[in-house]
């Protein structure tokens, strides 16, 4: 297969169970992966867990476990979450895996061979929660006068022998990258912040630690483990077989898209490209920093008691519905808010009452009034205008917007087409035509059959299970569900020729109950 496409998510810290932000990122990446596959691309999709570092080591200590025990236990929850949400990854990587240690040591040696590493002493601030070093000038003051990172997390003064990476050497190259390749970091709003950070001067980066041993060993330097971000970022290469440059590395590197949240843009667009340049590897084509998902406008936290288990949410409202809601509701790139009521309102209005109802009432009439039998149209379906409206939404607008990661806008175009179809059914009133003009009724119902198929194909990347169930009911073959099938004008005739009647349709977009009002 040609035309490779490599997409990755951030790898999550498994120091606790997955939260809704993890689910959001995994779902968005999955929608992109499914969309690109349906566009005929040869997709490679990687996600996983980031298991080293002080944050993991300390959490394990708190719980009286070894770091490895904690990692083994928690990583499973992340993989289970991906599986429960229909996330179609090719590899779920764990940074404790042997090939990952080998890849991290290989990139280390490549950077060393390029003269970019040296041994010195680190003295400065470190945030364990962010696994990040901060300059004094970046710190803010907490309520009790204590020093906090710009993300509001505690920092501790750290003094250690450490390997350093010559980040300062890459300052001009990074500025050039931001200025000359605007597509590298999206959305645009995130770029200015990074340019300002680089223009403020880059200091060399401490990239090894000696005060604990939970990490990848630095080759040839006893007592040093790599700074967790060095190995974490390298996961994107490990999954392709690096340091072997043939095989998957040759096919899929550079990555088409690293999908990450806005809080870790610095690591992906300053440290990571600098490491790659140093190791003489091409840079990813794009890093996209999505926004944060908030619970009724608030960050979820244990102290607020508003932490949502994404698997419970999916069980309560349905995986497809949760996926649809997240991609539809939030302008991708910006922060967004969710609540149970918002999920129910959106899903009922657009999936259950609009698309589901369109399919259910039309297919039921084909089943009842036409014995489920489709007939050849003598001419093309007469209702070209509706067919053209739907085709434009499904073939042009939605794919154009999805390719640019504007999911909510692409889905909006689709919803408008669904509304147009329902309006058409209301106006044509096929139930009345049954008596007055049965031939015309058939044309109307078959026109809806055609557009429902197009709409289901277009929405498959977002709502895969329900759309496939609907396409099964229509009798659309499994290999005719990609976007290319929307350009295949012969499909309806072939469908009729099979002579297979429609079964009694089963609704695939049930209405959701509004949750009881909270006290």
Residues 372 and 365: their CA atoms lie apart, in Å, by: 8
25, 30, 116, 401: residue in contact with ligand ME8 (rule CB under 6 A): 25
User: Between residues 260 and 394, which has the closer beta carbon with respect to ligand ME8?
Assistant: 260
Residues of span 399-458 touching ligand ME8 by CB under 6 A: none
264, 270, 411, 458: residue in contact with ligand ME8 (rule CB under 6 A): 264
5, 6, 7, 10: residue in contact with ligand ME8 (rule CB under 6 A): 10
Does 186 bind ligand ME8 (CB under 6 A)? Our answer is: no
Does 227 bind ligand ME8 (CB under 6 A)? Our answer is: no
- Is the Cα torsion angle 312, 316, 318, 322 positive or negative in sign? negative
Instruction: Say if residue 395 is exposed, middle or buried (CB neighbours under 10 Å; 0-12, 13-18, 19+).
Output: middle
Long-range CB pairs of 475-483, under 8 A, 24+ apart, other chains included: 475/500, 475/502, 481/38, 481/457, 482/37, 482/38, 482/39, 482/40, 482/457, 483/38, 483/39, 483/40, 483/395, 483/399, 483/457, 483/458
**C-beta separation of 19 from 307 below 8 A:** yes
User: Between residues 66 and 298, which has the closer beta carbon with respect to ligand ME8?
Assistant: 298
Window of 189-197, 259-267, 365-373, 425-433 that interacts with ligand ME8 by CB under 6 A: 259-267
- Is the Cα torsion angle 480, 481, 482, 483 positive or negative in sign? positive
Window of 199-207, 258-266, 276-284, 421-429 that interacts with ligand ME8 by CB under 6 A: 258-266
Distance, CA of 415 to chain centre: 21
Phi first, then psi, for residue 64 (nearest 5°) are 65, 35
Does 85 bind ligand ME8 (CB under 6 A)? Our answer is: no
Window of 8-16, 80-88, 164-172, 456-464 that interacts with ligand ME8 by CB under 6 A: 8-16
User: Between residues 231 and 383, which has the closer beta carbon with respect to ligand ME8?
Assistant: 231
Does 233 bind ligand ME8 (CB under 6 A)? Our answer is: yes
Tokens 């044509």 correspond to what residue?
Answer: 428
- Report strand pairing: 225-226 vs 336-338: unpaired
HSE toward the beta carbon, residue 261, CA cutoff 13 A = 18
215, 241, 261, 430: residue in contact with ligand ME8 (rule CB under 6 A): 261
The tokens for 27 are 């779902």
3-state secondary structure 230-254: HHHHHHHHHCCCCCCCCCHHHHHCC
Give the CB-nearest residue to ligand ME8.
Answer: 261
Does 50 bind ligand ME8 (CB under 6 A)? Our answer is: yes
Residues 429 and 325: their CA atoms lie apart, in Å, by: 31
Does 12 bind ligand ME8 (CB under 6 A)? Our answer is: yes
Does 274 bind ligand ME8 (CB under 6 A)? Our answer is: no
Kindly state the smallest distance separating residue 172's Cβ from ligand ME8, in Å: 25
User: Between residues 266 and 453, which has the closer beta carbon with respect to ligand ME8?
Assistant: 266
61, 72, 263, 468: residue in contact with ligand ME8 (rule CB under 6 A): 263
The tokens for 24 are 């959001």
Does 239 bind ligand ME8 (CB under 6 A)? Our answer is: no
Binding interface with ligand ME8 (CB under 6 A): 10-13, 21-22, 24-25, 50, 232-233, 235, 260-261, 263-264, 292-293
């Amino acid at each position: 297969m040609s035309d490779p496409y490599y997409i990755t998510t951030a790898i999550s810290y498994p120091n606790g169970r997955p939260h809704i932000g993890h689910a959001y990122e995994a779902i968005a990446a999955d929608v992109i992966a499914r969309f690109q596959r349906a566009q005929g691309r040869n997709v490679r999709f990687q996600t996983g867990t980031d298991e080293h570092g002080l944050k993991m080591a300390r959490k394990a200590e708190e719980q009286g476990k070894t770091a490895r025990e904690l990692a083994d236990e928690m990583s499973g929850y992340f993989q289970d979450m991906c599986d429960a949400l229909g996330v179609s990854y090719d590899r779920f990587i764990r940074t404790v895996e042997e090939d990952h240690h080998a890849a991290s040591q290989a990139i280390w040696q490549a950077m060393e061979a390029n003269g970019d590493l040296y041994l010195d002493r680190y003295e400065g601030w470190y945030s364990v929660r962010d696994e990040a070093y901060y300059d004094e000038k970046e710190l803010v003051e907490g309520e009790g006068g204590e020093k906090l990172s710009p993300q509001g997390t505690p920092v501790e003064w750290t003094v250690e022998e450490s390997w350093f990476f010559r980040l300062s050497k890459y300052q001009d190259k990074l500025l050039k990258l931001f200025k000359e390749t605007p597509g590298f970091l999206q959305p645009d709003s995130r770029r200015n912040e990074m340019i300002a950070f680089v223009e403020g001067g880059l200091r060399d980066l401490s990239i090894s630690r000696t005060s604990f041993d939970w990490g990848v060993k630095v080759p040839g330097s006893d007592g040093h483990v790599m700074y967790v971000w060095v190995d974490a970022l390298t996961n994107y290469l490990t999954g392709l077989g690096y340091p072997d440059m043939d095989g998957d590395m040759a096919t899929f590197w550079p990555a088409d898209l690293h999908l990450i949240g806005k809080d870790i843009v610095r690591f992906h667009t300053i440290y990571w490209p600098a490491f790659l340049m140093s190791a003489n590897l091409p840079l990813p084509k794009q890093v996209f920093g999505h926004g944060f998902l908030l619970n009724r406008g608030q960050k979820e936290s244990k102290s607020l008691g508003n932490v949502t288990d994404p698997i419970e949410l999916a069980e309560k409202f349905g995986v497809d519905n949760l996926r649809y809601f997240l991609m539809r509701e939030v302008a991708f790139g910006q922060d967004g808010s969710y609540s149970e009521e918002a999920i129910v309102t959106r899903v009922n209005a657009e999936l259950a009452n609009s698309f589901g109802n369109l399919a259910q009432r039309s297919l039921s009439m084909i089943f009842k009034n036409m014995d489920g039998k489709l007939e050849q149209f003598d001419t093309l379906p007469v209702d070209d205008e509706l067919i053209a409206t739907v085709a434009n939404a499904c073939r042009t607008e939605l794919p154009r917007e999805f390719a640019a990661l504007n999911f909510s806008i692409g889905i909006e175009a689709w919803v408008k087409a669904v509304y147009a179809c329902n309006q058409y059914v209301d106006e044509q009133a096929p139930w009345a035509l049954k008596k007055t003009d049965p031939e015309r009724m058939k044309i109307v119902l078959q026109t809806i059959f055609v557009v429902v198929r197009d709409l289901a194909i277009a929405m498959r990347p977002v709502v895969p299970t329900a759309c496939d169930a609907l396409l099964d009911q229509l009798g659309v073959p499994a290999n005719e569900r990609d976007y290319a099938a929307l350009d295949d004008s012969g499909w309806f005739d072939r469908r009729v020729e099979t002579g297979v009647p429609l079964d009694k349709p089963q609704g695939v977009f049930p209405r959701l109950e509004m949750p009881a009002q909270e006290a």
